[in-house]
A and B are shown apart, each in its own frame.
Chain A
Amino acid sequence: MAIVNGEKTAARSAPLTETSFIGWLHKNLFSSWINAILTVVSIYIIYVAVKGIWVWGVEEAVWVAENRRECFKISKDGACWAGVIQWLENIFYGRYPRPELWRVNLGGLLLVVWMAPLWLPRVKNKIFIGLSTVFLYPFLAGYLFAGGDKGIFMQVVVSGAIICLIGNTLHTIIGVFSGGGLPENLTRLLGKTDASDQNQRNTLLAILAAAFVVVFLLQMGWTVEVVPWTKWGGMFLTLVISGIGITSALPGGIILALGRRSRLPVIRVLSTSFIELFRSVPLITILFMATTMFPLFMPEGFVLNKLVQVTIAVCLFSACYMAETVRAGLQAIPMGQYEAAHTIGLGYWGTMGLVVMPQALKHMIPNIVGSFIGLLKDTTLVSIIGLFDILGMLRSISQDVPWRGLHKEPLLFGALLFFIICFIMSKYSRHLEVKLSAGANR
C-alpha cells in the first residue's frame, strides 16, 4: 500500500534570511555579537575616511587658480588641484616638446593596435604577433620617440616593423570578418590556391619583398625631429623604462633560468650567483651602482647617459627576478614532457624551445603581468637618481615658483593614477590565472 499524493506540493518561498535585506544583514553583518562590533567599527572607519577625503579633496578643494597663493586665498583647508591640473602635460609626458606630443600618443596607439589581435578570438598566428610586438615594436616606437637621422640598421628595422604592423592589422581584420589569415587570402586573391606549396610560398615571399622595398623607399624621406633623452619624462618615461625592463627581462630571464638549471657546473654556478647577487640587494643600490660605477667600468671617452645607465640597471634587476619566475614555470612542467621530446629525437634546444618553453610560458603569463606591475611600481625609484619620471615630476611641482610647496596633492594624484593602472592589470592577471588553470584542469 502506498500513499501517493497526487498533487504537487506548492513551492515554498525561500526563507526570509535568504531573500530579505534584513536577513542578508543578519547573516552577513550581525551573525554574532563579535561580528556586530566589527561591523560597527568598520562602518565608523569608512565614515571617517570617506568624509575626510571628501571634505578636503572635493568640497573645500580649489580647481582653478593661477598660483598657490590664490589657492590659499580661496580656501585654506582644501586641496589645491589647480596646480596639478596645470602640470598635467608634464606629469604625463615630462618635458617632451609640446608640438611633438603626437609622437608619444601615436606610439601608445600603435602598441594597442599591435597587441589588440592577441585578445581577439578568431585571429590565428598569435605567437607571431606576440613575438613581433617584443622584437619589432620597440624599434619603431624607439625611433618615433627619439627621432633624428636613421642609420641603415634603423631604416631596415623600422621598415620591417611598419610592414609587420600593416600585415598584422590586415591579418586581424580578415581574421575577424571572414576567418582564415592573410597568407591564405592573398593566395586566394591571386588565384594560386591550386599551385604547389613551394609556388605559394615563393609568391608570398615575393609580395613581402616588394612591400618591403616600397616601404623602405617611402620611409627614407620620413624623419622626425630629435628629442634628447633629457626631455623624456613623466608617466611616459616610467612606462618606457619599465616596458624595456620587462621586454628585455624575458629573454634574459629565460637564459639565466636555463643556465641555473643547466647540467654544466660552471654555467650553473655563474648563473646562480648572478641571479642571487642582484636579487639580494635593493634596487636603489643597483641604481646607485649604475650611476656611480658603470661610468668607471667603461673605457675612457665612452659615455653613457643617465637614462641608459638606469635602464641597464633596471633590465639586469628585472631579468634576475624574471629568471626565478621562469624557473618556477619550468619546474611545473612534468618530466614526461622532457622524456617524450628526447624520444622523438629533439636535442636540448629543440626540447626547450619547441616543447617545454611554450607550455611553461603560457603558465607564466599571470606571473609576468605581476612582475610588470611590480616593476612599474619600482621604477619610481629612478626619481631618487634625478630622472623626471612620474614621481620626479610630481615632486617638482612643489619647486615651481608659482606652486611652491604644493606637494601633497600631486602625490595623491600619482597614487590614484598608479592604483588605477596597477589594479586593472592585477585584476586582469588574476582573470588570466583562472582562465588558464581552468584550461589545464579540463
Chain B
Amino acid sequence: MTGAVLKPGTVADVQDAIRDAVMDRVPLAIEGGGGLSGLGRPMQTERTLKLDGLTGVVEYSPSELYATFRAGETLVDARAALAEKRQRLPFNPPDLTGLYGDAGGPATMGGVVAAALSGPSRVAVGAARDYVVGVGLVDGQGQALKGGGRVMKNVTGYDLCKLTTGAFGTLGAITDATFKVLPFANSEVTILAHGLDDAAAQAMMSAAFKSPFEPVGAAHLPASAAAAIGGAGGAGAITALRFEGFPDSLVYRTNAIRSFLPAGLELTELEAEPSAVFWEAVRDVAPFQAPDSRALWRISTAPTQGPKLVAEIAQSLEVDAFYDWAGGLIWLAVAVDAPNVGAEVIRPLITAQGGHGTLMRADQSVRAAVEVFEPLSAPLLQLTHGLKRTFDPFNALNAGRMYAAV
C-alpha cells in the first residue's frame, strides 16, 4: 500500500474520493481488506481507497434466497450471518489471503466479487459469476450505478454483475453486492480413493460426473499436496468426491456410484465433519499457503486436460500441483528462481490446450515482467480497453492491475 489511505464510510464518500482522484490526476488503488494486494500487476498508485469500512448486511431475505452485503463485510461475517438461517453462498468462495501471509486484513465480500473467487462446489453448482445477482458500484467518474437486482432471473439490459465479477476493481469500486443464497446441505460425506496417479484420478472424477448421483466436489491431491494438509487418511495421493444431501440419500448415492467408478479402487469415506474440514483445505489452497513462498499459478482448463498439462509442464520445470474441479482447476507451485517463474513454459502449453492461467503469487518484479493474467487476442484486448474507457475514462481505478492500462 502506498501513499494516502482513504477509508470511506458511505457510498457518497466513495464518489467524492473518486472525483477527487480524477481532479488531482492521482490514480487510486482499490482494496477491501488488502489481503489480495499481492495479486495482479503492480500498480503505480499514490492513493489507496480502502473499502473495509463499508461493512454490514444491507438486506437479507432467507425465504427469498438473496442477501446483500456491503463490500467491506468480511467473508467470515457474511458466512456467519447466513449460517444463522442455515444458508450459505452456494459457490463456496475461498479465502485466499492465506496465500500471501499476514500482509493484509481479512477477505471481504467486495474482494470475492472483484476477484471472482469460487470454491470446490463450482464444478457442480456454478461460479461466483452465477450467484452475483446485483452489484452497486461507483465508476471512474464518481457515478453511483447499479447492475442487476435481487432476483435470479433477470435479462433486463446488459449483465453488469458478470462484467464486474472478476474485473479486479478496474471498472468500478464495488460498494455492495447481492448474492443468491441456498440452504445448507443437510449432511455431507466424501469418498476417498488412495494412491492414484494424476491421470487415473482424473478418469475417476470424470466417471463420477457421468453418473446420476450428483457429486458436488471432485479434487485430486498428489502425495506431496496430500501430506501438506495431513490427516485425510494416511500417506500417498488422495482423490476425493464430495456428496451432500439428506443422510438416507447420501448412503444410497455413495454406494450406488461405486458401480460407475473404475474397478479395483481402494476407497474410504470421510464423515460429515472431517469431510468439511478437508474441503475447506482444498478451497483455501492450504497446501500452498504461506510460509510457502514459491510462485503460484492458477490454471483453468478442460478437466480431462489437467493431468496432461501438468505432465507437460513438469518436463521442463520442477512443479508441485493439485487439482480441483475434477481436474479443471490446477494450483501449480514453481520455485521462485525458475526463469520468470516458468511463464515461458506454462503459457504456451496452456494456449495449446485451451484455458487460461493466472500468476497468483510472485515477487513484484516478476509480476511487472510477465503477464499476470492470460494475454488477450488483439480484438479482445481492444474490447477490454473500450470497456475500461467506458467505465473509467481517466484511468483512475486500479489502473494497470489486469493488463497495461486496464
Q: Are chains A and B native binding partners rather than an unrelated pairing?
A: no
Interface residues of A (CB under 8 A from B): none
Measured CB to CB, the residues of B under 8 A from A are none
